[in-house]
Structure 1
């Protein structure tokens, strides 16, 4: 099974590097949906049982579930994955959660065993990033179909227009979605139709990839407010009047009235100098204001708020390592992301 194919090499690498005996005691599978595996690690007379959460890829959006699971296992959980991004490792350690990746890099802390290895070469998974689907144009296509699932059964020309991508890429995008198990063929009204599967999983994967792949390309620069009162009154600058959309933490503040932003994210196609004049901001590489260009079809996916589409606000916040941002993301998802 998949868990064993990931877990065994990781445990064997741990033993090879450290001499710690690590073995699988049980693979509950369908008997227990909350536990992928039970593992035992031993060193001398010290022996500990841990509940393993096994993932091919460990995404930021899963962090809240991991933290909740840690509470139910009295801290005896260990994350195992082929590859764990460095920021995720930092967050796991900060919360006292053990982990192992296939390369042997690990953090294990029990009452009698402490291991921290970070010098093993650990190349990230490339199978996703190398496909067209997870390149910038594919990310735009995915956002469009996540916003409107009916697009999948529209003409390729309409999909391309709505997503803002080249017509010639649509066929390969859909093929890759089928290959990854996110689209299946079905029948509706006696006609073959394409259906989106595992939408929540696709959204969370898109959120992580957006932060690393597409978002950096949309970033224009960073700025700061001229005066404290300008910062405090940030939302008095109405988005529709200025041709801007508030995103990330500022979108979370508007949509939930729960979050006080520390970073003020603006999406706009307006001239930067005009925005500087209207918003009373000045360039500053370490400033609290960030300006990005919109990537979505603003006519098709218009919002009733001064914010980016709620799906994008959710994605930006759920892929953050800030717990309050993730909590705000879940509030947005419950209310807006259907």
Structure 2
């Protein structure tokens, strides 16, 4: 039985062949895929990212991911609506979907098809549980501390406030896609961590981050954040402020804080923060074990800083994210 991802890829390739005569030769499908678009006159190397749905929130991370690849990125989706097709084309993100919508730009090869609608029978299959909101919490813990891959499921459930059965299903899916390798008596090992990070970066702003947002705020003193002490508050600087503290390269414009939900009200009162939809302060709920050893500073883990910078889509933030990655994360994600 084919996985939902392989079925998605097969359907999109078949539609591409019907509409253009082009075929795609796949090299590997362990984690998404690489291969070649065969046009009859050209052989275009591509790195494929398969997504059930595509929203504005995932585009910055997707664009960033594709710029890191040697091959040209190709997005394969269930359906790309006309507005999204225009945005993807403007960013030169190649795509195909199961309805036949297509954008490929490698002159003299140029194809742009939009407006085709999927048939009613093309049902969207359930997503990989690792990239659901609760699955993303579990993956985040593993990315921060790869050794957690060997703790009992019950301990992992307590660490991530996930149900025991959910942890088992997430680990099963991660194993299926080659991110966890079971070595028998030698335990489990987290593999392909850089690719897992890239997948997490795309899913996080769409699936998990919106559930953490509590709103925008404004302070009486616009410079309050430069002197406030977060020690013992269960609050952590994120995004631009955290990036500034780590790189000294960015002047923050949006002040992002992750605050433990039980402490949020008192934190806002203490710091005289008032609700303002246009405010420059955003407060999100923490979603990790705040007592864990990977969050004992006053800033969130650099992985989360990196994710928020990329998700913002702001060029200055993305530039800072590159600096942050090289300084704080590159060694962490270097495979043995």
TM > 0.5 fold call: yes
Distance 1:143 1:28 in 2: 30
SS in 1 for 2:236: strand
Q: Equivalences for 1:279-294 in 2 at 5 Å?
A: 279-294=271-286
Rounded to whole Å, the distance in 2 between the matches of 1:95 and 1:101 is 17
Report the CA distance between 1:136 and its aligned residue.
2.9
Q: Judging changes above 3 Å, is the alpha-carbon distance between structure 1 residues 83 and 274 closer, same or farther for their aligned structure 2 residues?
A: same
Q: Does 1:103 align with 2:99?
A: yes
Give the aligned partner of residue 18 of structure 1.
none
- Pair member with larger Rg: 1
- Cα 1:4–1:267 shift into 2, 3 Å: closer
Equivalent residue, structure 2, for 1:51: 44
* CA-based RMSD: 3.7
Among candidates 6, 16, 22, match of residue 11 of structure 1: 16
**2:206 matched to 1:206?**
no
What are the superposed Cα offsets for residues 159-198 of structure 1, whole Å, 9 maximum, x if unpaired? 22222323343333322221222111115xxx33111111
Residue correspondence of structure 1 range 120-159 to structure 2 within 5 A: 120-121=117-118, 126-128=125-127, 131=129, 133-159=130-156
Contact 2:16 2:102 in 1 (8 A): no
Return 5+ residue gaps in structure 1 as ranges: 16-20, 42-47
Which residue does 1:219 correspond to in 2? 213
**Distance of 2:68 and 2:197 partners within structure 1:** 20
SS at match of 2:324: helix
Give matches, 1:1-338, under 5 Å: 5=10, 8-13=13-18, 15=19, 21-24=20-23, 27=25, 29=27, 36-40=35-39, 49=42, 51-57=44-50, 60=59, 61-64=61-64, 66-67=66-67, 79-83=74-78, 89=85, 92-107=88-103, 115-118=112-115, 120-121=117-118, 126-128=125-127, 131=129, 133-186=130-183, 191-226=185-220, 230-232=221-223, 234-240=225-231, 242-269=233-260, 271-303=263-295, 305-337=297-329, 338=332
- Unpaired runs of 5+ residues, structure 2, are 1-5, 52-57
CA distance in structure 2 between the aligned counterparts of 1:128 and 1:28, rounded to whole angstroms:
22
Write out per-residue CA displacement over residues 25-83 of structure 1, whole angstroms, 9 at most, x where no aligned residue: x85959xxx98324438xxxxxx8573525242675452353466xx99xxx5735134
Structure 1 residue 296 displacement after superposition: 0.6
Hey, what does 1:44 align to over in structure 2? none
TM-score (norm 1): 0.74
Q: Is the 8 A contact 1:52 1:79 kept in 2?
A: no
Give the superposition deviation at 1:111: 7.5
TM-score (norm 2): 0.74
Aligned length: 308
Offset at residue 118 of structure 1 (A):
3.9
SS of 1:336's partner is: helix
